[in-house]
Structure 1
Amino acid sequence: MTDDVMAEVHTGLQLHISGDRAGAREKFAALWERIGADGDPLHRCALAHYMADVCDDPADELAWDLRALAAADSLTDERAQEYHATLAVRGFYPSLHLNLAEDYRKLGDHEAAKAQWELGRGTLGALGDDPYGTGIVEAYAALATRLGLESDSPDFRG
């Protein structure tokens, strides 16, 4: 089954990847208007997660990342797997908490950043041993350095 909203989210993501942040932001804003704050949690999670990445203001980025986290909290594995059979909601949390930690760091709230980093660190076991998982773990290590935190090892998933 084709998910037209997720296809449109992917189109916006491709705009962002190609360097058209403004075009992506416009696409995502129009799509958010259509699905609404009470729409399908998978759609809200994906859309808010990517919208945060095209915000210029760190406070706006934080607001979108908080929307993504709230949507993930109401998302079920069954709904996620309707879109893609391999998805599990627990796998969303490492990236969501990483983004929130970075948002708080940018805004100068290092205590909130460290709290989100710790929450996210506790979810790293949900990641696979693949390039995506490795990239997220490396991003946690880099953020730990920026926050002045000690990480147990280069790969602290376990």
Structure 2
Amino acid sequence: MTATPASPDPTMEAIGRAVAAGRSGDIASARKDLLSLWSAIGVMGDPLHRCALAHYAADLYDDPVQALAWDIRALDAADAVTEQRVQDHQADLHIAGFYPSLHLNLADDYRRLGSFGPATEHIRAAEAHVPSLSRDPYGDTLRTAIREVAAAITRQDTARRTSAPGPADGQV
């Protein structure tokens, strides 16, 4: 998230610090910090916090089973986030913009596990949400990744994508 938040949110700031640690290569610290935050937030806590945390936590695991568990949590939480809550956090964000990435990640997890039926369902959902993506480098990156995962599903390729964020490439 690059825009200025509508109001300070210490939990989102803590999530951001953990993500930054993971992106700088300190995967163990990032996992530890996010797990600690997850315990503090709780499974019934603020859905925006749960969504953001789970979405980023999934990227910290190269094992698709562990990533899948976090990505399911992220999608579940997104379904509980209201547009107002997103706007309260950051005025230029919209919950609809979360779904292409959330479904893309689930499609990629299922694909890596060889579960091509669920992978196809989620890549189709990601494709259906593409109009919600911004016309900027982030949106372009997601559109490219959606095409890559769709092609890998068609090939029934279970290999990890070299462009996927995560511990294998130091990008979280």
TM exceeds 0.5?
Answer: yes
Which residue of structure 2 aligns with residue 104 of structure 1?
Answer: 110
Give the length in aligned residue pairs.
149
Aligned to 1:92: 98
The structure 1 residue matched to 2:129, chosen from 123, 129, 148, is 123
> SS of the counterpart of 2:114?
coil
Instruction: State the match for 1:12 in structure 2.
Output: 18
TM-score by length of 1: 0.92
1:5 Cα deviation (Å)? 0.1
Instruction: Establish whether residue 25 from structure 1 lines up as the match of residue 35 from structure 2.
Output: no
In the alignment, structure 1 residue 53 sits paired with structure 2 residue 59? yes
Q: Which residue of structure 2 lines up, in the alignment, with residue 152 of structure 1?
A: none
* Larger helix fraction of residues: 1
Moved more, 139-148 or 88-97: 139-148
Equivalent residue, structure 2, for 1:154? none
Spell out the pairing of 1:72-91 with structure 2 (5 A cutoff).
72-91=78-97
Deviation at 1:43, TM superposition (A): 0.2
Distance in 2, Cα, partners of 1:75 & 1:65: 15
CA distance in 2, matches of 1:13, 1:144: 27
The residue number in structure 1 matching 2:141 is 135
Give 2:50's aligned residue: 44
Q: Distance in 1 between matches of 2:99 and 2:91?
A: 18
Of 134, 141, 145, which aligns to 2:151? 145
With normalisation by structure 2, the TM-score equals 0.84
Instruction: Name stretches of at least 5 consecutive residues in structure 2 with no aligned partner.
Output: 1-6, 156-172
Structure 1 counterpart SS, 2:142: helix
Alignment partner, residue 8 of structure 2: 2
Cα distance in 2 for partners of 1:16, 1:109 equals 28
Question: How far, CA to CA, are the matches of 1:20 and 1:81 in structure 2?
Answer: 31
CA shift for structure 1 position 22: 1.2
Which fold has the larger relative contact order, with Cα–Cα distance below 8 Å and residues 6 or more apart in sequence?
A: 2
CA shift for structure 1 position 17: 0.6
Runs of 4+ that moved beyond 3 A? none
Find the aligned partners of 2:135 and 2:8 in 1 and give their Cα distance.
28
RMSD: 0.9
Give the AA of the match of 1:11. R
What's the secondary structure of 2:8's corresponding residue? coil
SS of the residue 1:148 aligns to: helix
Q: Which moved more, 1:140-149 or 1:63-72?
A: 140-149
